[in-house]
Chain A
Amino acid sequence: MSERSERTVMHSLDTVKHAEQTPDTQLPWAELGLKEDEYGRIREILGRRPTGAELAMYSVMWSEHCSYKSSKVHLKQFSEKAPQSDAMLVGIGEQAGVVDVGQGYAVTFKVESHNHPSYVEPHQGAATGIGGIVRDIIAMGARPVAVMDPLRFGAADHPDTRRVLPGVVSGIGGYGNCLGLPNIGGEVVFDSCYQGNPLVNALCVGVMRHEDIHLAKASGTGNKVVLYGARTGGDGIGGASILASETFDDTKPSKRPAVQVGDPFQEKLLIECTLEAFQERLVVGIQDLGAAGLSCATSELASNGSGGMRVELDSVPLRDSSLSPEEILMSESQERMCAVVEPEKVERFLAICEKWDVTATVIGEVTDGDRLGIFWHGEQIVDVPPRTVAHDGPVLQRPYARPDWQDALQADDPARLPRPADGDELRAAVLALVGSPNQADKSWITDQYDRYVLGDTVLAQPEDGGMIRIDAETGLGVALATDGNGRYAKLDPYAGAQLALAESYRNVATTGARPLAVTDCLNFGSPEDPAAMWQFAEACRGLADACRTLGTPVTGGNVSLYNQTGDVAVHPTPVVGVLGVIDDVARRTPMAFADEGHLVYLLGDTREELGGSAWSQVAHGHLGGRPPAVDLERERLLGEVLVAASRDGMADAAHDLSDGGLIQALTESCLKGGRGARIVVPDGMDPFVFLFSESQGRALVAIPRSEEVRFNDMCGARGLPATRIGVVDGDAVEVQGQFTIPLAELRRTHERTIPELLA
């Protein structure tokens, strides 16, 4: 909060009455990130000037981060175009969507960004990102069972990456490991476009019984509002409005005080005591305190309920007794939640909190009427219709326009780039690829995350998707993957968003799980830049269309704009998470080629598609042309074949083909299984295109000889091209007539890059 507003606050309490009497008092609305017309609208809604506390609430809730004011008009498509799905129990709009996975179980999952805080203070920024998404999942009534982290950093060899990446990784590990949540996947991508704006997204998945779904609403006059968890401090004040809703600018003061500080132990207690309260059916409504803290929790709870709520702000337990009421309302102190509890159950609720050493305080109650009243030592400082704070924020029709450089970018086809001409050059290109930072082994990073805790992790990174067992008796499980290729999206944001979904969908199917639903984190540049806004609009349109075709609705997610430093925006980066279900996790298909003699099949068609490819980046630092063609019907067919092969025990291993193409996937499967492979380039196919093209809708599978006929029959019957390209054998990867690379050499090349850059 600015000095000026602090003075306003300290000298006298700005009550509602005082605001009525002093209509001409100037308030620091601009410093709080509000635009002039927005301030005018607040005055109009209230019929007077807002109090300092009201201004604080509106400013954070109407920020880009909380109100989605620039993105709303585009996000609508996710509902409007949503495919019919019987699996959806709770859709967009709640804290996280809920999906029916059968046997009475429901799964809730969501991905969110914590990009800006993670650049300013990498460790705490990333840690609190995990904390926030985990609380969203608990607030739905679910026990969190796993997390994943899609990450984007600047160039791997840039000095600042050495500051940001280790901090982000230790923050994710330090927080997630202490919570006891297995980290089962995600991505690590390097590109200089993320140098000043790393993307730190976090996904959490939780499980509950159908009857345990909880929603964020305060209903029932006389019900008590209980604030529980950490005490409220001065950390993170204005995080949502100041940090996440503006671009970085060197000329402004450090934003570090706007980053929250996390306490995973407190969060662990919060999880356990919340779930125990749920189990005893003590909770009417619940909301976590994340961005915009109490402003958000009270206004959303009231707005989603009958509308009336009275809060005694001076009963909020404080870490710092000098905080003003405005600061208490804006504080983003972590590890806090707000529950609505019937009066006769309050005592039991508080007892459970006491059992877990969690501070809990009744701060108010649900009232008749439709006003949110907040009091400070008996005097009213807030009197607002909660809906106007929580849901009726501004909606902007930002101008957008296809940037004038888009045509030139697409015309810059990688066909002109020099290619490896013979076996020796191909060999060198393969080693350069698998040792490049984006394609290299990431275990230096992922070994800092606990993937075993809870004992239900069936698959974890580097597998195509993470898989968690839900029911030990029946073997029911879920699989999750996140993907997003900013290079593809830069070339064509509509196709790029669809390709992100296609890859994530394919990854889930590769494990043997049936894709059901989608969550997305849309990371883009400044909405005030028409080019970035066009990318955003195109990506939303593409993703919504693709979700409809694949029958996988978007259940929720997050938008992160202003990922821009000065004029330089990140690549448009829609990250798409797909959730799938598998009836018996014992049937899962891992990626490792572990058995000699198994036949290697390539599923799908390979065309010359190198636009945005890993090869073009590694070999030439090139980005141009068009991304690989999208064929969603093919993705669906491939998915059906992979799921059937898993269910019927035909495939012993499968690995999705994506960035880096066939040779990257083959290398990973061979190294994971510790076996080599002998591969033959199909007749008429250019060896370079065969190995490096990134055509979509493809996967490698390892088929036992005994299953070959049955597998071929199935692919034939369904109309999916399946080409036998080789056999799992020996201790080298051999592409016949071209080159041979011993596994040991591949492994050394693949595994040393990241530790050398970062350790």
Chain B
Amino acid sequence: MSVGTGAGGDAGTGGGSGLGRIGVVTFPGSLDDRDAQRAIRLAGGEPVALWHRDKDIRQVDAVVLPGGFSYGDYLRCGAIARFSPVMGTVVEQARLGMPVLGICNGFQVLCESHLLPGALTRNDHLHFVCRDQRLRIENANTAWTGDYTEGQEITVPLKNNEGGFVASEHTLDALEAEGRVVLRYVGRNPNGSRRDIAGITNEAGNVVGLMPHPEHAVEALTGPTTEGLGFFTSALKSLVAAS
């Protein structure tokens, strides 16, 4: 644990191995940034703290947009964050193929940034929900899911207030047809997401957004399972493969 400052107190300061440097963006209301950094480290990567006001993303190989309430989310989740200087660079690099993972609030930011289609709306039961959620991997070919197998079921924490994925029927059909639904809720749908969708990817498979929190399932002691670690090991392997 870092008793020190917020913005990347835990993160390495760079100058590492070259490959496997994964940036974690801290917006002012980010909450799970330290957890994402820890997950990257446990997966064998090097976490690099990125600050929302900086355009410079410090030559990272991939980026995680962590959970939280960027800028308070009083307007619409992620609506302000997409205009931050760092997001300008992230969007640019994502379009060039850099792996980007948006978790929870990060997923909302990716949708607001139009890197992913659709939007996340208030949970249908109108309450915040925090629970251990069963999920099925529907696509094991993205930059973030290569270490899983298609159809594999995992359990990781889910916690959100605005987690209901919505998109037009046309978009939903296209996502299904193109295999871009990455994760689906198994059992009770926790937030009213259309077609039980928990996570999706872009056409290229480098950008993934999901509501559940794999970074909270990386240690047996603090998580329900360690089944979330695969997202981070997958990314590290995809970076090696791409080099």
Residues of A within 8 A of B (CB): 142-143, 145, 170, 173-174, 177-180, 207-209, 212, 263-266, 268-269, 271-272, 275-276, 279, 356-357, 443, 447-458, 469-472, 585-586, 759
Query: Given A266-B72, A449-B128, 4 more contacts at CB 8 Å?
Result: A174-B128, A178-B69, A356-B28, A447-B127
* Given known A145-B1, A454-B1, A457-B222, contact A276–B29 (CB-CB < 8 A): no
Question: Which of A279, A449, A452, A471 is close to B1, meaning CB atoms less than 8 Å apart?
Answer: A471
* Given known A265-B72, A452-B223, contact A209–B1 (CB-CB < 8 A): no
Interchain CB contact under 8 A, A275 and B5:
yes
Interchain CB contact under 8 A, B5 and A279:
yes
B105 CB to closest chain A CB (Å) equals: 11
B202 CB to closest chain A CB (Å) equals: 27
A541 CB to closest chain B CB (Å) equals: 38
> B122 at interface (Cβ–Cβ under 8 A)?
no
Identify whether the interface residues of A are mostly helix, strand, loop, or mixed: mixed
Question: Which of B38, B129, B213, B218 is close to A447, meaning CB atoms less than 8 Å apart?
Answer: B129
Interface-centre pick from B29, B73, B74, B223 (highest chain A CB count, 10 A): B29
Residues of A contacting B177 with CB < 8 Å?
Answer: none
A649 CB to closest chain B CB (Å) equals: 15
Interchain CB contact under 8 A, A456 and B1:
yes
Interface residues of B in 30-88 (CB under 8 A from A): 31-32, 34-35, 38, 67-69, 71-74
> B174 at interface (Cβ–Cβ under 8 A)?
no
Interchain CB contact under 8 A, B1 and A448:
no
A454 CB to closest chain B CB (Å) equals: 7
With A and B bound together, what is the CA distance between A713 and B130 in angstroms? 42
B126 CB to closest chain A CB (Å) equals: 9
> B4 at interface (Cβ–Cβ under 8 A)?
yes
Residues of A contacting B4 with CB < 8 Å?
Answer: 143, 275-276, 279
> B196 at interface (Cβ–Cβ under 8 A)?
no
> B166 at interface (Cβ–Cβ under 8 A)?
no
Q: List 7 A-B contacts (CB under 8 A).
A: A177-B159, A207-B1, A451-B130, A453-B32, A454-B35, A456-B222, A471-B1
A137 CB to closest chain B CB (Å) equals: 12
With A and B bound together, what is the CA distance between A759 and B3 in angstroms? 38
Interchain CB contact under 8 A, B31 and A453:
yes
With A and B bound together, what is the CA distance between A142 and B1 in angstroms? 13
With A and B bound together, what is the CA distance between A266 and B71 in angstroms? 9
Interchain CB contact under 8 A, B28 and A585:
no
Question: Which of B1, B67, B68, B69 is close to A472, meaning CB atoms less than 8 Å apart?
Answer: B1
With A and B bound together, what is the CA distance between A173 and B126 in angstroms? 13
A699 CB to closest chain B CB (Å) equals: 23
A171 CB to closest chain B CB (Å) equals: 11
> B157 at interface (Cβ–Cβ under 8 A)?
yes
Residues of A contacting B184 with CB < 8 Å?
Answer: none
Interchain CB contact under 8 A, B6 and A272:
yes
> B215 at interface (Cβ–Cβ under 8 A)?
yes
* Given known A265-B28, A448-B128, contact A455–B222 (CB-CB < 8 A): yes
B156 CB to closest chain A CB (Å) equals: 10
Residue in chain B with minimal CB distance to A475? B221
* Given known A145-B1, A272-B7, A453-B35, contact A178–B223 (CB-CB < 8 A): no
> B194 at interface (Cβ–Cβ under 8 A)?
no
Interchain CB contact under 8 A, A455 and B38:
yes
Residues of B contacting A142 with CB < 8 Å?
Answer: 3
Residues of B contacting A209 with CB < 8 Å?
Answer: 3
With A and B bound together, what is the CA distance between A569 and B131 in angstroms? 37
> B216 at interface (Cβ–Cβ under 8 A)?
yes
With A and B bound together, what is the CA distance between A231 and B213 in angstroms? 35
Interchain CB contact under 8 A, A180 and B68:
yes
Interchain CB contact under 8 A, B71 and A265:
yes
Interface string of B168-212 (1 = CB under 8 A from A): 000000000000000000000000000000000000000000000
A89 CB to closest chain B CB (Å) equals: 15
Question: Which of A173, A275, A452, A585 is close to B6, meaning CB atoms less than 8 Å apart?
Answer: A275
Interface residues of B in 119-146 (CB under 8 A from A): 125, 127-131
B27 CB to closest chain A CB (Å) equals: 10
Interchain CB contact under 8 A, B35 and A455:
yes
Interchain CB contact under 8 A, A180 and B32:
yes
B42 CB to closest chain A CB (Å) equals: 10
B163 CB to closest chain A CB (Å) equals: 13
Residues of A contacting B128 with CB < 8 Å?
Answer: 170, 173-174, 177, 448-450
Interchain CB contact under 8 A, A454 and B34:
yes
Residues of A contacting B28 with CB < 8 Å?
Answer: 265, 268-269, 272, 356-357
With A and B bound together, what is the CA distance between A457 and B68 in angstroms? 17
Residues of B contacting A207 with CB < 8 Å?
Answer: 1, 3
Question: Which of A170, A212, A450, A469 is close to B159, meaning CB atoms less than 8 Å apart?
Answer: A450
With A and B bound together, what is the CA distance between A209 and B71 in angstroms? 29
Residues of B contacting A469 with CB < 8 Å?
Answer: 1, 221-222
With A and B bound together, what is the CA distance between A418 and B34 in angstroms? 57
Residues of A contacting B223 with CB < 8 Å?
Answer: 452
Residue in chain A with minimal CB distance to B157? A452
Residues of B contacting A470 with CB < 8 Å?
Answer: 1
Question: Which of B3, B38, B221 is close to A585, meaning CB atoms less than 8 Å apart?
Answer: B221
Residues of A contacting B68 with CB < 8 Å?
Answer: 180
Interchain CB contact under 8 A, B215 and A455:
yes
B224 CB to closest chain A CB (Å) equals: 9
Residues of B contacting A208 with CB < 8 Å?
Answer: 3
Interchain CB contact under 8 A, A276 and B6:
yes
With A and B bound together, what is the CA distance between A454 and B39 in angstroms? 12
Question: Which of B127, B131, B213 is close to A170, meaning CB atoms less than 8 Å apart?
Answer: B127
Residue in chain A with minimal CB distance to B32? A453
Interchain CB contact under 8 A, A268 and B35:
no
B167 CB to closest chain A CB (Å) equals: 26
With A and B bound together, what is the CA distance between A212 and B161 in angstroms? 35
Interchain CB contact under 8 A, A448 and B69:
no
B73 CB to closest chain A CB (Å) equals: 8
Residues of A contacting B38 with CB < 8 Å?
Answer: 455, 472
Interface string of B1-26 (1 = CB under 8 A from A): 11111110000000000000000000
Residue in chain A with minimal CB distance to B219? A455
Residues of B contacting A180 with CB < 8 Å?
Answer: 31-32, 68
With A and B bound together, what is the CA distance between A142 and B3 in angstroms? 8
Interchain CB contact under 8 A, B5 and A272:
yes
With A and B bound together, what is the CA distance between A458 and B74 in angstroms? 31
Residues of A contacting B127 with CB < 8 Å?
Answer: 170, 447-448
Interface-centre pick from A209, A271, A450, A470 (highest chain B CB count, 10 A): A450
With A and B bound together, what is the CA distance between A456 and B1 in angstroms? 8
With A and B bound together, what is the CA distance between A536 and B222 in angstroms? 40
Interchain CB contact under 8 A, A448 and B7:
no
With A and B bound together, what is the CA distance between A585 and B73 in angstroms? 35
Interface-centre pick from A174, A275, A471 (highest chain B CB count, 10 A): A275
With A and B bound together, what is the CA distance between A170 and B218 in angstroms? 28
Interchain CB contact under 8 A, A448 and B221:
no
Interchain CB contact under 8 A, B72 and A452:
no
B129 CB to closest chain A CB (Å) equals: 6
With A and B bound together, what is the CA distance between A562 and B204 in angstroms? 64
B191 CB to closest chain A CB (Å) equals: 12
A425 CB to closest chain B CB (Å) equals: 36
A259 CB to closest chain B CB (Å) equals: 20
With A and B bound together, what is the CA distance between A360 and B196 in angstroms? 46
Residue in chain A with minimal CB distance to B213? A452
A469 CB to closest chain B CB (Å) equals: 7
With A and B bound together, what is the CA distance between A264 and B159 in angstroms? 17
With A and B bound together, what is the CA distance between A449 and B159 in angstroms? 8
Residues of A contacting B159 with CB < 8 Å?
Answer: 177, 450, 452-453
A355 CB to closest chain B CB (Å) equals: 8
With A and B bound together, what is the CA distance between A405 and B77 in angstroms? 56
Residues of A contacting B69 with CB < 8 Å?
Answer: 178, 264-265, 268
Residue in chain B with minimal CB distance to A275? B5
